[in-house]
A and B are shown apart, each in its own frame.
With several copies, the nearest count.
Chain A
Amino acid sequence: MAIEKKDIAKRIAKELKNGFYVNLGIGIPTLVANYVPKEIEVEFQSENGILGMGPFPIEGKEDADLINAGKQTITSLAGASFFDSAMSFAMIRGKHVNLTILGAMEVSENGDISNWKIPGKLVKGMGGAMDLVASAENIIVAMMHVNKKGYSKLLPKCNLPLTGLKCVKRIVTELAVIDITPQGFFLVEHAPGVSINEIKDATAGKLIIPNNVPEMQF
């Protein structure tokens, strides 16, 4: 019994620290904004040019000039700022963004990530993902543990074209929280109702399992 996508987002929200600037990718990462712990202050950056991004607008208040990187209508909070794409990627490349949360198709034992291209299928493009993974010092991947065909997405080596090298620090899936260590994947937490063996079976890369694996809290 794995957890839901919103629970992955909830778990990741616990990684937020007071004062963090955070860039959220499309999909599960976007949900993280809904679960910021009340006692901390963070600001969300969207790479199309806003810092201090707020929730979706109420009906009738949509503004075509105010969207996020997923092209969704958004709002801005007090203290927000708008800026051009060069400044936006200055923030990213210059390591001013503290945490990047993004989806992935594959992650390898050494932290390589593939999330932009499936050969032979439609290529949508990398958007800002290559800039983000090449620079972010703290990258958490939010994804399903296995793909739709049932194959593990945690691999010894990525099969798909790479987005970035040795950059992922932590992975949160519906089954587990896993860190990238010099020795390989390291099992940090298991999801409620998920056995260590289930996680092991769903992980193609080398998985280090400590004696005591706590249950994921969210």
Chain B
Amino acid sequence: MVNKTVKSVTKALDGINSGMTLMFGGFGLCGIPENSILELVRLGVSDLRCISNNAGVDNFGLGLLLQQKQIKTMIASYVGENAEFERQMLSGELEVILTPQGTIAEKCRAAQAGIPAFFTPAGFGTEVAEGKEIRLFHGKNYIMEEAYQADFAFVKAWKGDETGNLIFRGTARNFNPLMCGAAKITVAEVEELLPVGALDPNQVHIPGILVNRIFQGSGYEKRIEQRTIRNI
């Protein structure tokens, strides 16, 4: 088996430079690559173009990169949980490209799958469609959207093995599987790194061929944004 293991997050991020386009798995703070984000903060790379459904909160997730002003452009579907984000966007320091959630998902999946472009109805007739090709199929209008092109994809899985096979957990799966293989280099951090042969081949969510580097993550905080309980 091909071994994808790297010993540290530092080795996992080898080759990262300012100005790169980076993908981040996660929905809100659920399933985000915590270790890789912290290492990016430590490295201090800047002028980043980030593709992520959300932008974290003020002091966690991508919010940490925003605090350090490392992000130049943010491509996201929803960014309402972050005051520093708001400040930078309104002041013009941060470029924001709001994109429908399903379109972000599909643009990642297209990059993973070697599909350069596809058509989606999401955003037809809205400002999202501005400047994009519109086409009618079976009486309905669709927008042509192109695959993302990114340098690194950072994903977080529940379990992984040394050859890069990944299994996600619950709704922490979200965008993570779609970003695997959607960038030049895919870095996967896992809660539990297992030896080859430990995962049932029938239950692997992402085959190792789509992962370039995998490492055992540590210190996961797994912060909950909206802790909500029911009264019984």
Contacts and interface: CB of A to CB of B under 8 A. Distances in A.
A126 B114 contact: no
B207 A83 contact: yes
Q: Which of the four size classes fits the interface of chain B? A: 35 or more
B19 interface: no
B220 to A, nearest CB: 9
A65 B197 CA distance: 19
Contacts of A112: 125
A205 interface: no
Contacts of A4: none
B113 A90 contact: yes
A62 B78 CA distance: 23
Contacts of A18: 2
Interface in B1-32: 1-3, 27-31
B102 interface: yes
Contacts of A27: none
A65 to B, nearest CB: 4
A141 interface: no
A89 B101 contact: yes
Interface in A101-125: 112, 122-125
Contacts of A84: 105, 168, 173-178, 205
Contacts of A123: 79, 89, 96, 98
B1 A41 contact: yes
A123 B175 CA distance: 22
B126 A162 contact: yes
Nearest to A21: B209
Contacts of B168: 82, 84
Given A49-B173, A79-B1, A122-B80, A135 B121 contact: yes
Interface string B97-133: 0101111111011011111000011111111100000
A127 interface: yes
B226 A73 contact: yes
Q: Chain B binding site: helix, strand, loop or mixed by DSSP?
A: loop
A97 B210 CA distance: 9
B207 A81 contact: yes
Interface stretch (A53-61, A173-181, A182-190): A53-61
Given A79-B161, A122-B86, A134 B209 contact: no
Contact of A65 (B31, B109, B124, B204): B31
B78 A124 contact: yes
A57 B170 CA distance: 14
B227 to A, nearest CB: 6
B136 interface: no
Contacts of A89: 101-102, 105-106, 113
Interface string B150-167: 000000001001110100
A160 to B, nearest CB: 11
A51 B102 contact: no
Q: Which of the four size classes fits the interface of chain A? A: 35 or more
A131 B124 CA distance: 10
Interface in A141-173: 161-165
Contacts of B161: 79
A96 interface: yes
B93 to A, nearest CB: 15
A127 B55 CA distance: 12
Contacts of A206: none
Contact of A64 (B102, B125, B223): B223
A86 B105 contact: yes
Contacts of B226: 67, 70-73
A66 B171 contact: yes
Given A63-B170, A85-B105, 12 more contacts: A43-B1, A49-B174, A52-B201, A56-B230, A64-B30, A71-B30, A76-B201, A82-B173, A82-B201, A89-B106, A90-B109, A94-B114
19 contacts: A46-B171, A48-B28, A57-B229, A64-B29, A67-B28, A72-B226, A72-B228, A79-B165, A79-B199, A81-B201, A81-B204, A84-B205, A85-B174, A90-B113, A94-B112, A124-B78, A130-B123, A134-B124, A165-B124
